[in-house]
């Protein structure tokens, strides 16, 4: 999805523009002009708005850096009412996850509850509600391709915890 790339796109754009304006506003880099008329016009604008341009360049540098460091994909999402997750959605997803793992839910209820909550939260953060609903209509293989990068760590932790308990039971 392109929305996952927006922090990189805006971050690089803001950072590059901010650095350029910073260099020009603080006269570290001198612009080159084709004719004298443009040079006079641009220099008068730079002199007139120098403080504003300097502040704006610093803002752009900080904003671009923030986008590249934090990479919050939800920052640039346009949210409408159909895209908003509700607490009922969360509870339904957790319940569906627990029902889907029926055998493990009976054997390891605490582990499965924690796993279901964690994976649900990650899915809800990474996807819009509409995207999730569209994805749920697709075959399981396609769903797994999108879910696995999100839930892989939790799945490994769950398997490790279950294996640890089973190994303890075997030793006894």
The tens digit of pLDDT for each residue in 31-60 reads 998 899 999 999 999 999 999 999 999 999
The tens digit of pLDDT for each residue in 64-103 reads 999 999 877 777 766 555 678 889 999 999 998 888 877 8
pLDDT at 101: 79
pLDDT at 26: 93
131 neighbors 73 (Cβ within 8 angstroms): no
Name the most confidently modeled range: 11-15, 86-90, 99-103, 155-159: 11-15
Higher pLDDT, 154 or 101: 154
Please, what's the largest Cα pairwise distance for the chain?
Answer: 89
pLDDT at 50: 93
Q: Which of 94, 136, 143, 142 is nearest to 119 (CA)?
A: 94
Contact partners, residue 153, CB within 8 Å, separation at least 6: none
Give CA–CA dist 124/98, Å, rounded: 17
pLDDT band at 128 (very low <50, low <70, confident <90, very high): confident
State CA 86 to chain mean position distance: 19
121 neighbors 93 (Cβ within 8 angstroms): no
Contact partners, residue 27, CB within 8 Å, separation at least 6: none
- Domain ranges within the chain, ordered by starting residue: 2-76, 81-171
Give CA–CA dist 91/93, Å, rounded: 6
Q: How high is the mean pLDDT of the chain? A: 88
pLDDT at 156: 92
H helices present in the chain, as ranges: 6-25, 36-48, 50-70, 87-100, 102-107, 109-126, 129-136, 140-171
């Amino acid at each position: 999805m392109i929305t996952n790339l927006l922090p990189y796109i805006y971050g690089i754009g803001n950072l590059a523009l901010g650095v350029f304006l910073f260099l020009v506003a603080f006269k570290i880099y001198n612009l080159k002009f084709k004719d004298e008329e443009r040079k006079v016009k641009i220099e008068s604008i730079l002199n007139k708005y120098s403080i504003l341009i300097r502040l704006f360049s610093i803002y752009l540098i900080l904003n671009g850096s923030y986008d590249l460091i934090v990479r919050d994909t939800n920052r640039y999402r346009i949210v409408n009412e159909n895209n908003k997750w509700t607490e009922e959605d969360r509870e339904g997803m957790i319940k569906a996850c627990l029902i889907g793992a029926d055998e493990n839910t009976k054997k390891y209820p605490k582990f499965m509850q924690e796993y279901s909550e964690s994976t649900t939260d990650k899915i809800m953060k990474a996807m819009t509600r509409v995207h999730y609903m569209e994805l749920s209509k697709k075959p399981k293989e396609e769903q797994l391709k999108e879910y696995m990068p999100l839930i892989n760590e939790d799945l490994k932790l769950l398997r490790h915890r279950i294996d640890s308990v089973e190994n303890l039971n075997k030793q006894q």
